[in-house]
Amino acid sequence: MNNVERHQFIMAQLKKVGSVNVLELCKMLEVSSVTIRKDLKLLESRQLLFRTHGGATLVNPYTTDRTVFEKEKMHAVEKVAIAREAASMITDNDSIIIASGTTVQAMAKEIQPIGNLTVVTSALNVAVQLIKHPNVEILQLGGILRKSSTSVAGLYAESILSDFFCSKLFLGVDGIDLEFGLTTTNAQEAHLNRKMMEVSQKVIVLADSTKFGKRGFGRICGIEEIDCIITDKGISPHTVKGLERLGVKVMVV
């Protein structure tokens, strides 16, 4: 293949699966990694793709911090469907952790506890949604309040978690990358999320399909460290297969 044919092949692969890997392209096109990297650099300069570690993607893989008031209006229909599925996983007399984010806030609105329910949360908006239920005991974590997310982070919140162990953690994220893992835009929040994972039996991630292929500043964990992801039908079959290969149950609503 000449340069133009290689570039056309790369773009066709991107449109087909959403992302490409340098080593896989080398095998497909029978050229060196230096050649492929030059191709990707040229295509990026023409604003046709975004380079990532070891490959490229069609969408900007780096997320920016937005306020919850802005994010709650984005993909609202998908978030409600994800929220309802997540809420249905809560059992009678359960003890759970709900992290921060607009998708878990939507989940809090959908919770209709039958028996008693204990909820540990870092998010003020989650606590406000649940306070109306007389049979829900809320433990609000304390610490530094992040105004953009209306949730707390920091050492004080982390230290409180060491006194508890819960059956499930419902986690919202800003980015999910098969290689890099789960991320959020804030490093302190990422660290608190890791602490939440340590005191939870099962980790359930709530994420609409736009979160896949994205990376935030703070890494929470690797994909293999979570148990389940609930997302919408916008997720690509290629991504679903990749998640399942890593042992993650994918629930599409």
Residue 214: pLDDT band (50, 70, 90) is: confident
Place of tokens 């389940």: 228
Q: How many Å apart are CA 168 and CA 88, to the nearest integer? A: 13
Strand segments (E) across the chain: 19-21, 50-52, 55-57, 94-98, 117-121, 136-140, 144-146, 151-153, 166-172, 175-177, 181-184, 200-206, 218-221, 228-231, 249-252
Average pLDDT over residues 148-155: 87
pLDDT of residue 147: 81
Nearest residue to 91 (alpha-carbon basis) of 118, 109, 61: 118
Residue 10: in which H helix or E strand, if any? helix 3-17
β-strand partners of 143: none
Q: How far apart are CA 95 and CA 164, in angstroms?
A: 10
Looking at 3.40.50, 1.10.10, 1.10.3470, 3.30.450, the CATH number of the domain 3-57 comes to: 1.10.10
Q: Let me know: does 226 contact 182? Beta carbons within 8 Å.
A: yes
Q: State residue 71's pLDDT score.
A: 59
pLDDT band at 69 (very low <50, low <70, confident <90, very high): low
Residues 68-252, CATH architecture: 3-Layer(aba) Sandwich (3.40)
Q: What is the total residue count of the chain?
A: 253
| Residue 149 pLDDT grade (very low, low, confident, very high; cuts 50, 70, 90) | confident
Domain locations along the chain: 3-57, 68-252
Q: What is the pLDDT of residue 67?
A: 60
Does the pTM exceed 0.85? no
Q: What sign has the CA pseudo-torsion 167, 172, 178, 179?
A: negative
